[in-house]
Amino acid sequence: MTGVALLGAGIFAREQHLPAIESTPTLALKAIYSRSRRAASALAALTRNPTAIDVYFDVDDSTSTSPEADKSLDALLQRTDISAVIITLPIVHQPHVIEQALKAGKHVLSEKPIAKDLAEGQRLIGLYEALPQAERPLWGVAENYRFMDSLRYAAEKVREIGGNLLAFRLMRYGFVAEGNKYFATEWRKTPAYQGGFLLDGGVHFVAALRLLLNAADDDIIKVAGFSALLEERLPPLDTVHAVAVTWRGVAGTIAMSFGTEFKSGTEVEVITTNGVVVWTPDEVRIVARKRDGDGKEEDTRRFPYSTGVTNEVGAFARAIETGETDQGLMPREALKDLEIVQGLLESGSAGGRVKIAQA
């Protein structure tokens, strides 16, 4: 059994990570950390056994006047019965905590994106890879889309139908309403990082596209896009339309918007010389050449919607036990997702100038 602490007590920690930890038999939740004592305590109260959960915080905003032991994050990271942490903090605050936890020898699962920009992501990976290998803990980046059953099935089908990649398409339209629970968080209303929701949410859809492209043995190396702010509440940008090119020279399109009220939906399409696979979060459609080459086969499979977080946390737990990390958790995969999103943003700000992959 691995002792784990949950660092962060926001919406995603409460609704996704806490249930995922408690449903993973090899993980034992020991502690919760948040900036405020109230937030940490409120989340601890929702656990199966609140009296067994210790809370740690930076600011004691409770009404208690009783003396307390050291409840800082440093004190939590010194505990020998906690060997892993799951970090769900605001984008700009995560890198410092990731660094603290890794230096303390804790296994880390940190929420996407890996960092606010490519330079910070590269710095973190450089720091991690410089740790002595014999003492290096596991670090995974929690891109839950890579663990959605529907997306993994779609990737299997891309591999199964085979053929040469001809084209691809990512389409994601939606609207972040004023009452949206994620928009209600102050750090998202006035983002101190590039792209706003295009970074925070966009990495999900780029990760989905890349998983299917990788299944076709290809990946994106160049992008050229145009960006816009359609909804003034969502600065600095909420929309990007782009062309992307893979290392094999195949072109495709990327369209992502968080500011289109009357258009919504998420779809990734991969077209090869043998067929086409179309993924949505709850459905996978396939049209493929029959194995004997005579005619076509069509199939549609529906999936109950799942965020993939339970699968992701389970993969993290298995990696701790076996020492073998799932490809979907690899920090360099998350860095590539970030690089593409940053490339889209930079190309858009430069009027469509082509951005070349560097990571």
Fold type of domain 146-305+338-356: Dihydrodipicolinate Reductase; domain 2 (3.30.360)
- Of all residues in the chain, what percent carry a pLDDT higher than 70? 98
Mean pLDDT of 252-279: 98
Tokens of 77: 């990271």
Distance CA 339, CA 81 (A): 36
* Domain parsing of the chain, residue ranges: 2-142+310-317, 146-305+338-356
- Say if residue 65's pLDDT is above 80: no
Between 73-87, 212-226, 284-298, the lowest mean confidence (pLDDT) is in: 284-298
Distance CA 225, CA 352 (A): 5
pLDDT, mean over the chain: 96
Q: pTM for the complete prediction?
A: 0.96
Radius of gyration for the alpha carbons in the chain, expressed in angstroms and rounded:
21
Burial class for 291, CB neighbours closer than 10 Å (0-12, 13-18, 19+): exposed
pLDDT in tens, 311-331: 999 999 999 999 999 999 999
Tokens of 68: 């307390």
β-partners of residue 243 are 224, 253
- Say if residue 66's pLDDT is above 70: no
- Say if residue 292's pLDDT is above 80: no
- Say if residue 67's pLDDT is above 60: no
Around 346, how many Cα atoms within 13 Å sit in the side-chain half-sphere?
14
Distance CA 124, CA 111 (A): 14
Same CATH fold assignment for domains 2-142+310-317 and 146-305+338-356 = no
Element (H, E) at 146: none
pLDDT band of 359, cuts 50, 70, 90: low
Mean pLDDT of 274-287: 98
Fold type of domain 2-142+310-317: Rossmann fold (3.40.50)
Distance CA 316, CA 326 (A): 8
Spell 125-154 as b/e; 16+ CB within 10 A means b: beebeeeeeeeebbbbbbbbbbbbebbbbb
Mean pLDDT of 176-201: 95
Spell 86-107 as b/e; 16+ CB within 10 A means b: bbbbbbebbbebbebbbebebb
Query: What is the pLDDT at residue 290?
Result: 84
